[in-house]
Chain A
Amino acid sequence: MAFWILISVFCFLFPYLAPAANFTATVDRTEVSLGEQIHLTLRFEDMPNTGQPPQLPPLDGFTTAYGGAQTQMSIDNGVRHDSVAHIFALTPTREGTLAIPAFSVPVGGQVLSSQPIAIRVTKGQVQGGSADSVFTQGVTTNDIFQMTISLPRTNLFLNETVPVDLKLLIRNGIRYRSQMPSIVTTGFSEIKLSRPVESQEVIGGKSFVVYTFRSLTSPLQPGNLALGPARAAMDVFVDSPNRPRLPGFNDAFFDNFFGGSATKTITVTSQTVPVRVLPVPDDGKPADFTGAVGRFALDVDAKPTTLRAGEPVTLSIRVVGQGNLATLAPPKFTPPEGFKSYEPVARSKQTDEIGFTGEKVFEQVIVPLSPRASVIPPITFSFFDPEAGRYQTLSRGPIQLTVQDAPTGAAPVVVGVAPVAAAPRPQEKLGVGVVYLKPDLGAPAPSSPTLYRQTGFLAGQSLPVLALAISFVVQRRRERLRRDIRYARARRAFGNAQRRLAEAERLMPAGQIKSAAFCAALFKTLQDYLGDRLNLPSSGITSAIVEEQLQPRGVPPEICQALKEVFTACDTARFAPSLQGNLDRERLVKIVREVVTAMEKMVL
């Protein structure tokens, strides 16, 4: 309420400065389903903008939400006009016909009122209605789509060829995908629509994209016929009803959040064009009339006009104009006596996109058989002019020929004259042309993708690189094994130790006699292993190695102790078997195995 008072105060105070104020209330649609929203726009033109949204009075049957304001400024004849549009989202709460009442705004001593608006609210989703209706927004089809058929005349003659224009207009801003239109052609020849010309047109302040199709048709039967209607199926993409329709949320980006857009298939239909078709009149029909309907000109030419008997003359009969050129029969021409004639050959050429205007040339070869056959009689062409409503006969000729006698017999020989020397062979000039067909299909085209696109093929090319890298690594290792004795001994130490331990283990189940052999094997294992690891002669390795070599190299004490234990056990078994008690062979093997494994991880 305060808003309305404020508006009226300002308008009252500045009547002479402000142009004429205007106030309107509009909705974006008048039919809506329960739960859907409509937008009410209150537009204030040339009234002061307080920056505050107006307070709507309670609207019966609606809940309201303010959606924001849009301001616009324009200059017309030097006068500035400002407008503010306040947008409200109204959601109906019951079915039926609801009323948005008229709003009144006092301005400068007078009251500006909007019109009341009736809104029809239905229960479910509003149906599209008949195939010709469009959406539920309440706009008419013609606001969005239009299709028209036009002919140059609606009074035609049988077999007369006329151009047909079909225009399909689609409002700019509509998202659509259209099928090619088709036209009902009962009583007419089939209309084939080809690629349309696309342009833009503004009609009634609305911008349309226009597809113009041009084609030809001919009535095939007399009487009162109707051309059309033309129909075009169209998929129109409309907003989903789940999408909020507040300003700022109309971007397709929000489709993903609010349910997307739906597709509606509609059929746009044109009007039918009533056509009255008359047969060509019998009165005054020329004898040589062969069905040509249109407007034509005739031209006749013969080449050559000076020739010998028996030589051919090409007679060109050219019919130019507009009409049923495609079905045009050659003008009647009966060669007179003394001429031999051949079948005419026709060539057509159209000078427009649809073939309504153009020319047709009939070429006929005639041969005068004697000098007496020297006149080509007049050639006539009769056609029916539909616009004039009468027949016309065009005549060209006669054409005079100069026909000489054909040469007879051989040339006489002149006696006493030396024969002329044979002319030199002219320089050969090779001809050019297309080489003849191939006799067979040859090799088939490859069916798989080109090699460089095949992942497996490309991956396979890494194999030689891989092989090269492996070769380098292997060769370097072999070379090092060959030259670096210390390295070579250290590399084989573990393997040799394992082998010898396995041999020692085979001696384990034996009795006392085998203890010496077992211990010798175990001792040899340790000797060889330590000799290889330390790059010392294996045969010189004894238990003293522990203190002399291993401890100074940082071998852990427990390993040193274990080695001493094994060395001692083996020495006793070998050199003083009588002093030896029960030998725990398994334990000794285990100790040696653990020692070897632990020492493998050390750098000595």
Chain B
Amino acid sequence: MFLWILVFGIGGFVPFAFADVPPAFREAAVLYDQGQFDQAVARYESLLAAGVRSANLYFNLGNAHFKAGHVGRAILNYERARQLAPRDSDVDGNLGFAVKQSKSFDATAAGSWSVWLADSRDSLTTDEWTWLTITSYWLALLSVIALVWLPPAIEWRRWLRSAAITFGAIALLVSVGLGARIAIEEGPPAAITLAKEAVARFAPMDDGAKHFTVYEGQKLWIIGERPSRMQGVSGWLEVERADGQRGWVPADAIEKI
């Protein structure tokens, strides 16, 4: 508990919230309530185009896309919201619901160890993992420095020694989580399929042999690219799906999270 307070206290230099709710955000909510979901999407996207980014904005945009029938874009924006607010249960709930609506949902994977580990890893942002690690690391080292300076006869050297060991162990443990997050950040970028269906081929061309089909809302990882030589025309992306199968899909069929 102490560490959590320390982490989020130290990390609390970020402004707590936007000062005012922009008019476009309010208008989008009104349009949403009126059932005009495409217009609500346009309002939310105008905020993104203006450089506004927040978990709540992505969440609401995801809702508007979901109601408008764009399951893929809904999942994409819920994923973006989750990156910024990994412990928001609303985001988790809506994302899970949207994924279940998509054809790509794999019920057998739910509840497995890998999913649990991934959830644990994603329960904090990378910066939160970083703060947790360095806080433990600093506390461990400060304890050791205090031990060095304190005279040997002092009674509570024993407590300092325990504190140093404990904080050191915590630092090692959370550094594993940090390492896992960094591996995600530095690894192949994840993307969500936006097309209703797209064929993944063995070669980056329209007449390449088909390998498998990806469905709207499916999560893929981008491992290669072949840009088009025609401006305005998307090229090809080599992707890998969760089971390791790889193929080439049109670049406009997916979008990076």
Whether the pair B56, A450 counts as a contact (CB closer than 8 A) is no
Which one, A197, A437, A438, A450, contacts B206 given CB within 8 A? A197
Whether the pair B21, A441 counts as a contact (CB closer than 8 A) is yes
Whether the pair B231, A443 counts as a contact (CB closer than 8 A) is no
Mask for A93-122, Cβ within 8 A of B = 1, else 0?
Answer: 000000000000000000000000000000
Known: A198-B205, A433-B97. A475 touches B22 (CB 8 A): no
Q: How far is the CA of A179 from the CA of B134 in the complex (A)?
A: 51
Within 8 A of A (CB), among B1-46: 14-18, 21-22, 25, 29, 32
Q: How far is the CA of A195 from the CA of B233 in the complex (A)?
A: 6
Contacts of B189 in A (CB 8 A): none
Whether the pair B131, A178 counts as a contact (CB closer than 8 A) is no
Interface status of A582 (Cβ within 8 A of chain B): no
Interface status of A127 (Cβ within 8 A of chain B): no
Q: How far is the CA of A195 from the CA of B253 in the complex (A)?
A: 11
Interface status of A452 (Cβ within 8 A of chain B): yes
Contacts of A475 in B (CB 8 A): 148-149
Interface status of B218 (Cβ within 8 A of chain A): no
Binds A, one of B113-121, B139-147, B237-245: B139-147
Which chain A residue shows the least CB distance to B93?
A435
Contacts of B205 in A (CB 8 A): 198-199
Which one, A211, A451, A467, contacts B127 given CB within 8 A? A451
Q: How far is the CA of A509 from the CA of B68 in the complex (A)?
A: 100
Whether the pair A440, B149 counts as a contact (CB closer than 8 A) is no
Whether the pair B141, A438 counts as a contact (CB closer than 8 A) is no
Interface status of B63 (Cβ within 8 A of chain A): yes
In the complex, what's the smallest C-beta–C-beta distance from B171 to chain A, in angstroms? Answer: 11
Q: How far is the CA of A438 from the CA of B25 in the complex (A)?
A: 10
Within 8 A of B (CB), among A422-477: 432-446, 450-452, 461, 464-465, 467-468, 471-472, 475
Whether the pair A442, B56 counts as a contact (CB closer than 8 A) is yes
Known: A450-B130, A451-B130, A451-B131. A445 touches B145 (CB 8 A): no
Interface status of A177 (Cβ within 8 A of chain B): yes
Whether the pair A441, B52 counts as a contact (CB closer than 8 A) is yes
Whether the pair A195, B57 counts as a contact (CB closer than 8 A) is no
Known: A178-B231, A434-B97. A444 touches B52 (CB 8 A): yes
Which chain B residue shows the least CB distance to A475?
B148
Whether the pair B230, A179 counts as a contact (CB closer than 8 A) is yes
In the complex, what's the smallest C-beta–C-beta distance from B174 to chain A, in angstroms? Answer: 13
Whether the pair B97, A195 counts as a contact (CB closer than 8 A) is no
Which one, A446, A450, A467, contacts B14 given CB within 8 A? A446
Which chain A residue shows the least CB distance to B142?
A464
Interface status of A241 (Cβ within 8 A of chain B): no
Q: How far is the CA of A446 from the CA of B130 in the complex (A)?
A: 14
Interface status of A196 (Cβ within 8 A of chain B): yes
Q: How far is the CA of A467 from the CA of B134 in the complex (A)?
A: 15
Whether the pair B231, A437 counts as a contact (CB closer than 8 A) is no
Q: How far is the CA of A472 from the CA of B141 in the complex (A)?
A: 12
Known: A199-B206, A468-B144. A443 touches B149 (CB 8 A): no
Contacts of B234 in A (CB 8 A): 195
Q: Name, among B29, B94, B229, the residue most crowded by chain A CB atoms within 10 Å (CB to CB).
A: B229
Interface status of A176 (Cβ within 8 A of chain B): yes
Which size bracket describes the interface of A in this complex?
Answer: 35 or more
Which one, B25, B206, B230, B232, contacts A441 given CB within 8 A? B25
Q: How far is the CA of A436 from the CA of B91 in the complex (A)?
A: 10
In the complex, what's the smallest C-beta–C-beta distance from A178 to chain B, in angstroms? Answer: 5
Which one, A177, A445, A452, contacts B231 given CB within 8 A? A177
Which chain A residue shows the least CB distance to B100?
A432
Contacts of B127 in A (CB 8 A): 446, 450-451
Within 8 A of B (CB), among A467-489: 467-468, 471-472, 475
Q: How far is the CA of A196 from the CA of B229 in the complex (A)?
A: 12
Q: How far is the CA of A197 from the CA of B230 in the complex (A)?
A: 12
Whether the pair A441, B18 counts as a contact (CB closer than 8 A) is yes
Whether the pair A465, B141 counts as a contact (CB closer than 8 A) is yes
Which one, A176, A197, A445, contacts B55 given CB within 8 A? A445
Whether the pair B252, A195 counts as a contact (CB closer than 8 A) is yes
Known: A179-B232, A445-B53. A471 touches B185 (CB 8 A): no
Interface status of A180 (Cβ within 8 A of chain B): yes
Contacts of A461 in B (CB 8 A): 134, 137
Known: A434-B94, A464-B138, A472-B148. A444 touches B53 (CB 8 A): yes
Mask for A302-320, Cβ within 8 A of B = 1, else 0?
Answer: 0000000000000000000
Q: Name, among B67, B134, B137, the residue most crowded by chain A CB atoms within 10 Å (CB to CB).
A: B134
Interface status of B176 (Cβ within 8 A of chain A): no
Which chain A residue shows the least CB distance to B205?
A198
Contacts of A437 in B (CB 8 A): 29, 32, 59-60, 63
Contacts of A451 in B (CB 8 A): 126-127, 130-131
In the complex, what's the smallest C-beta–C-beta distance from A296 to chain B, in angstroms? Answer: 25
Contacts of A471 in B (CB 8 A): 145, 148-149
Q: How far is the CA of A384 from the CA of B1 in the complex (A)?
A: 76
Whether the pair A441, B22 counts as a contact (CB closer than 8 A) is yes
Known: A434-B66, A434-B97. A442 touches B141 (CB 8 A): no
Which one, A438, A464, A467, contacts B56 given CB within 8 A? A438
Whether the pair B145, A468 counts as a contact (CB closer than 8 A) is yes
Contacts of B252 in A (CB 8 A): 195
Whether the pair A440, B56 counts as a contact (CB closer than 8 A) is yes
Q: How far is the CA of A435 from the CA of B59 in the complex (A)?
A: 10
In the complex, what's the smallest C-beta–C-beta distance from A361 to chain B, in angstroms? Answer: 15
Contacts of A179 in B (CB 8 A): 230-232
Whether the pair A444, B97 counts as a contact (CB closer than 8 A) is no
Mask for B95-134, Cβ within 8 A of A = 1, else 0?
Answer: 0011000000000000000000000000000110011001
Q: How far is the CA of A472 from the CA of B66 in the complex (A)?
A: 61
Which one, A177, A433, A434, A452, contacts B229 given CB within 8 A? A177
Whether the pair B21, A432 counts as a contact (CB closer than 8 A) is no
Q: How far is the CA of A472 from the CA of B134 in the complex (A)?
A: 21
Whether the pair A444, B18 counts as a contact (CB closer than 8 A) is yes
Whether the pair B206, A198 counts as a contact (CB closer than 8 A) is yes
Q: How far is the CA of A443 from the CA of B84 in the complex (A)?
A: 9
Interface status of B90 (Cβ within 8 A of chain A): yes
Interface status of B207 (Cβ within 8 A of chain A): yes
Mask for A150-187, Cβ within 8 A of B = 1, else 0?
Answer: 00000000000000000000000000111110000000
Known: A461-B134, A468-B144. A440 touches B63 (CB 8 A): no
Besides A196-B233, A452-B178, A468-B145, 14 other A-B contacts (C-beta < 8 A): A176-B229, A178-B230, A179-B230, A211-B230, A434-B97, A435-B93, A435-B94, A440-B18, A443-B14, A444-B54, A445-B54, A445-B55, A464-B137, A468-B144
Return 16 A-B CB contacts under 8 Å, by A number. Answer: A178-B231, A179-B232, A433-B97, A436-B63, A437-B59, A440-B17, A441-B25, A442-B57, A444-B53, A445-B53, A451-B126, A451-B131, A452-B178, A461-B134, A468-B141, A471-B149
Q: List residues of B whose CB falls within 8 A of some A CB.
A: 14-18, 21-22, 25, 29, 32, 52-57, 59-60, 63, 66-67, 84-85, 90, 93-94, 97-98, 126-127, 130-131, 134, 137-138, 141-142, 144-145, 148-149, 178, 182, 185, 205-207, 229-234, 250, 252
Q: List residues of A whose CB falls within 8 A of some B CB.
A: 176-180, 195-199, 211, 432-446, 450-452, 461, 464-465, 467-468, 471-472, 475
The 5 A-B pairs of least Cβ separation, nearest first, read A442-B56, A438-B56, A464-B141, A180-B232, A445-B53
